[in-house]
Every structure is written in C-alpha cells, then in structure tokens.
Amino acid sequence: MDRVIIIRYGEIFLKGKNKSYFESLLINNIKNSLKRYKFEFFRSQGRYIVGNYDINCEYEIIDSLKKVFGIYSLSVADRVETEYENGFAGVNESLKRLAMDAASDCLKPKPTFRMTVKRADKRIPMRSCEIAAFLADTVLKNTDFTVNLTYYDYEFFVDIRENGYSYVYSDVIYGSGGLPVGCSSKGMLLLSGGIDSPVAAYMMAKRGMKQVAVHFASPPYTSERATAKVAELRDIVDAYTAHMPLYVVPFTEIQLEIHEKCPAEFMITIMRRFMMRIATVLAKREGCTALVTGESLGQVASQTVESMTSTESCAGLPIFRPLIAFDKEETMALAQKIGTYETSIQPFEDCCTIFLPKNPSIHPNLKKVEEAERKLEIDELVKRAVEGTYKV
C-alpha cells in the first residue's frame, strides 16, 4: 500500500489543441512548487499523482499544491491492489482503516456516510453501484455509521483504475482553480509595500499571467527595510506566481525634481506618470506585454478616473487593474488568505507618501499636467532611473 496525493486539474482549459501546452506548464509549476521535497510524480488517466514523499512533509506539500493555479482539487489516498478475485481484499483493508479513523475522530452521534465507486477497470463484471454496496458493508461492520446517500457526514471514495490498482480516500481538498501561470503572457507588476499590489499579483496569476515586479524606492527617504519588505511580499506571493523576479528603481532624483519644479497639486499625478514610463521601458526589456497595478476606483486621489487617464497616457502598454472594483475589505480579506496582509501592514514609508501635498488634485486636467511637466527633462530622468535599476 502506498500513500499518494491525487491532483485533479480543471477540465475547461484542457479542451482543444493547446492541451499539451497547458499540461506541460502545469506539471512544471507543480514540480517547481515542490522542489524542496523528495517525491515521485506520474500521470494516471487524466490526473497526476504525487507519491513516495516523506509523510512528515505531507501537510506542507498539500499547502504548496493548494497554491498552484490550474489545480482544481486534491485528495490524499491509499493506492492499493484492487484484488477483485479476492473479494477486493486490498481495497477493503484500506477502507476499514479509513472508516475506523473517521469513527474515532467523530463526535457526532449516529454519523452517516455514502460510498462512491468509480470503475474504470471494465474487466470487473460488477457495476459501480454493486461494488459500492459490497464495500459499504466493511464500513457498516467496523463502525456505527449508517448509510445515507443524500445527507452524509462522510463520503468514502474508491477509484478502481484499469491497471489493477485502486485509490481509496475520503477527503477532497479544493485547490486554487484558475489557469496555469505562464499560459497568459507576461505582465509587469508595479509592486509597492502596500496591501493592494500583492493581491493584484495573485489575481493576475490566477488567470495564468506570469509576472515580473518593479518597485520604486526613494532612498534615503525610504529605508532599506522598506525595500526588504517588498522582497518579502514577493517571496510570499511567489507560491502563487511561480516566481516573480523583482527590480528596484531608484526614484529619489525624479521625486526631488518634481517637488522642486512642478505645482504641488500635481506631484502625485506626475510621479505616477514617471512610474508608468519607467515600467514600460523595463517591461519591454523583460518581454512583458502589459502592466499590472493594485489600483481601485476612488480609493485615493490618485485613483479617480481622471487621475488614471492621466497616468495611463504615459504607459506604452495596456494596464490591468484587477482590483478596480474591489472594496478595501475584499482586498484585505484576500491579502489575509494569501498571507501577505501581516507583512503589508508593517509601517514602512513608501515613495508615494513622501513629499505628499496637502491638497492633491483629485481630477487633474491632462493639459495642465503636461504643461507642468515641461519643466522636467523627462527622457533623461527616465534613462537614468532605468540605468540605476537593480534586481533583488
């Protein structure tokens, strides 16, 4: 008997001629997410199986797999010889143990169960429902459970495969769904140290987008710890994004120039326009075909329609804003789920919070912004910032 993890992937994206491409991405991402562990991986009729792993790492392995987009569900199962001629001896033994474990954990009086059997091995003459009735006897004999096919506390599954082996299990754990990262081109994520942008990374990864992150830092106004925090956020979301390289752009010179030469009310808008210009250059260099931000409509002055229109006109690529219609509470709940929240709320200064004007323009007029910007040597400033960019 082997203990294995069954991985089921969503069927939808596997239709059509891209099937093998999607599958190879998914397999790659699965293996990558488990690279810290020893295990064996094989395919079994429309599923993947992870076996021969250290049982002490099982919880961690499942936790990692739950974060791989494209996986629909998982089950920890016993892989046993079917032994049909021998009255399903192998299956029965495993089922007995599973049922007795469930019974000893169960506090409820008179628990109910159902038996669900799938029979791919057509050499066995009994039908699935007959096998289920036969196997249910094992549960009935060894526990005080009763059968209820509709309202049940436990469901025991037996998948009888064509190769003489069966999988016996009782729990189905849901995965993250979505599409395998890498199947929806590459985007450049503007990653701040805040709550929103790591969640934006998660959302785009869910639809299969591979991402590269860029962070704007303004030392000495922003500290090394602030940049370290951003790298930490990247490390946390990496479980979902299948690794996101991170670039840090020196932004101090640009901020000082804007502060000195442009009206305070346009400080944020002009600063964000620079972010878009620089991100576009870096994105093209990295082969990214879109930008991604954590903006949400109306959240702050820089996230009104007019402000976004004004920053967007400097981006040479489409901007995806997966959180545009999210309430802050919804984003915070997701941040908690993916594990970035506690790091995001650590109080470190962001380049956006320095030189913050008292009254930023909420509906900046594009012509006036462009006029104000003329005092700056835009191309030179962008070039120097790109040249100073480094990877962490």
**Residue numbers of the site for ligand ATP (CB under 6 A)?**
190-192, 194-197, 215-216, 293-295, 299-300, 302, 350-352
Chain residues that interact with Mg ion, rule: CB under 5 A: 192, 194
CB of 41 to Mg ion, least distance (A): 40
Contact of 275 with 216, CB cutoff 8 Å: yes
SS3 label, residue 22: helix
Q: Give the CA distances from residue 208 to residues 12, 16, 29, 52, 53, in Å, rounded to whole numbers and listed in that order.
A: 14, 17, 11, 29, 28
Q: Tell me whether residue 114 or residue 229 sits nearer to ligand ATP (CB atom).
A: 229
195 binds, among ligand ATP, Mg ion, none (CB under 5 to 8 A by kind): ligand ATP
CB of 341 to Mg ion, least distance (A): 14
Q: Tell me whether residue 171 or residue 349 sits nearer to Mg ion (CB atom).
A: 349
191 binds, among ligand ATP, Mg ion, none (CB under 5 to 8 A by kind): ligand ATP
- Which residue sits closest to ligand ATP, CB atoms considered? 194
CB of 346 to Mg ion, least distance (A): 13
Q: Tell me whether residue 95 or residue 195 sits nearer to Mg ion (CB atom).
A: 195
SS3 label, residue 24: helix
Q: Tell me whether residue 265 or residue 295 sits nearer to Mg ion (CB atom).
A: 295
Closest CA to 9 of 33, 24, 26: 26
The Cα–Cα gap between 299 and 59 comes to 38
294 binds, among ligand ATP, Mg ion, none (CB under 5 to 8 A by kind): ligand ATP
CB of 251 to ligand ATP, least distance (A): 7
- 367 Cβ contact list (under 8 Å, min separation 6): none
The Cα–Cα gap between 331 and 338 comes to 11
Q: Tell me whether residue 40 or residue 330 sits nearer to ligand ATP (CB atom).
A: 330
What's the order of all strands across the beta sheet hosting 246-250?
A: 319-320, 290-292, 186-190, 210-217, 246-250, 390-391
